[in-house]
Structure 1
Amino acid sequence: MTTLPLTPQQVLIDPPVTDAGAVLDALAALLAESTGQTAAVIAEALKSREEQGSTGIGHGVALPHARIDGVTEVAVAALRSAQGIPFAAPDGLEVQVFIAVAVPKTAATAHLEILSTLAVRLASEAVRADLLKVHNAEGFFTAMTHSD
């Protein structure tokens, strides 16, 4: 399984976001810290990708992602919202767990590998439940990166 490039510093727990745009802006700000790109460039890329179709995968989870010019390594950021955010997920549920991925424009394989790794991890009902119960970024990080 691909190693998840996530640290507790790249996790926001229950920030005051109320809509999809605010979620993507907050995630873009986190991704900007580790990609060398501006939050505005990343937010635009994430929002543009979302316009092509929701990255909500169901069960209260979304994986916003984009391939971005100028990004040199895969970067991951996470946000857990206290309340559900409408995100056009296929099951109609609002989303509370967002894991955003920014990858180099030319890294199609790495892009698919990291999304696959995330989807497999988040397919676990136990992992999703843990992510909703944690009280801080360290707990979220642990739930995302450690095996059951």
Structure 2
Amino acid sequence: MMIALPLSPANIRMDPPVADAVDALQVLAEMLAESSGLSAQGIAAALQNREAQGSTGIGHGVALPHARLEGLDRVVIAALRTARGIPFAAPDGVDVRIFIAVAVPRAAATAHLEMLSTLAARLTVDGVREALLKTPEVTEFFRILTGPA
């Protein structure tokens, strides 16, 4: 069963100039800050701290950076597709081009896991990943990511 993703096209960036993992997390943090009211700096630090515990790369060029944050009242998601792969210590060694960041309220452990497993299940589908990498349109990227598999 697919749970609704709290993602809007405004929280998707396609092929911005990002040089490395830190840049990618910063762009994601800025989008999450816009939709949550929290500081981009605080969100970026939380995402980086989570990466320091182990890469959130799930393989096949996909990463799901995530953090539980104080002061957040709902789950927020941001998506970033990079023009070229970014080294991200993924288990299969493949550089990452699709980043979906999830920020959840500190207390929402269950919602956090459900959201990550929903995204992971969707992004392990070859056709979904290929379509996300091919589309030039933010609205199409949004539809592919949030629509029926």
Is the structural similarity TM-score above 0.5? yes
Residue in 2 that maps onto 1:101: 102
Give a deviation string over 1:43-75, Cα, whole Å, max 9, x none.
Answer: 000000000000000000000000010111000
Q: In the TM superposition, what is the alpha-carbon distance from 1:88 to its structure 2 partner?
A: 0.2
In percent, how many aligned pairs have the same letter?
Answer: 59
- Determine helix, strand or coil for the equivalent of 1:49: helix
Q: How many residues align?
A: 148
For 1:15 and 1:133, locate their aligned partners in 2 and report how far apart those are by CA, in whole Å: 15
Residue in 2 that maps onto 1:61: 62
Note the 1:48-127 alignment, pairs <5 A. Answer: 48-127=49-128
Residue in 2 that maps onto 1:7: 8
Q: In the TM superposition, what is the alpha-carbon distance from 1:99 to its structure 2 partner?
A: 0.1
Moved more, 45-54 or 137-146: 137-146
After superposition, the CA RMSD in angstroms is: 0.6
Partner amino acid, structure 2, of 1:79? L
Partner amino acid, structure 1, of 2:10? Q
Partner amino acid, structure 1, of 2:84? Q
Partner amino acid, structure 2, of 1:85? I
- Determine helix, strand or coil for the equivalent of 2:68: strand
For 2:148 and 2:106, locate their aligned partners in 1 and report how far apart those are by CA, in whole Å: 30
For 2:107 and 2:46, locate their aligned partners in 1 and report how far apart those are by CA, in whole Å: 15
Consecutive unaligned residues in structure 1, runs of 5 or more: none
Q: In the TM superposition, what is the alpha-carbon distance from 1:136 to its structure 2 partner?
A: 2.1
Q: In the TM superposition, what is the alpha-carbon distance from 1:25 to its structure 2 partner?
A: 0.2
For 2:109 and 2:120, locate their aligned partners in 1 and report how far apart those are by CA, in whole Å: 17
Give a deviation string over 1:65-100, Cα, whole Å, max 9, x none.
Answer: 000101110000000001000000000000000000
Partner amino acid, structure 1, of 2:146? T
Displaced runs of 4+ in structure 1, greater than 4 A?
none
- Determine helix, strand or coil for the equivalent of 1:6: coil
Moved more, 132-141 or 46-55: 132-141
Partner amino acid, structure 1, of 2:119? L
- TM-score calculated relative to the size of structure 1: 0.98
Residue in 2 that maps onto 1:135: 136
Q: In the TM superposition, what is the alpha-carbon distance from 1:2 to its structure 2 partner?
A: 1.3
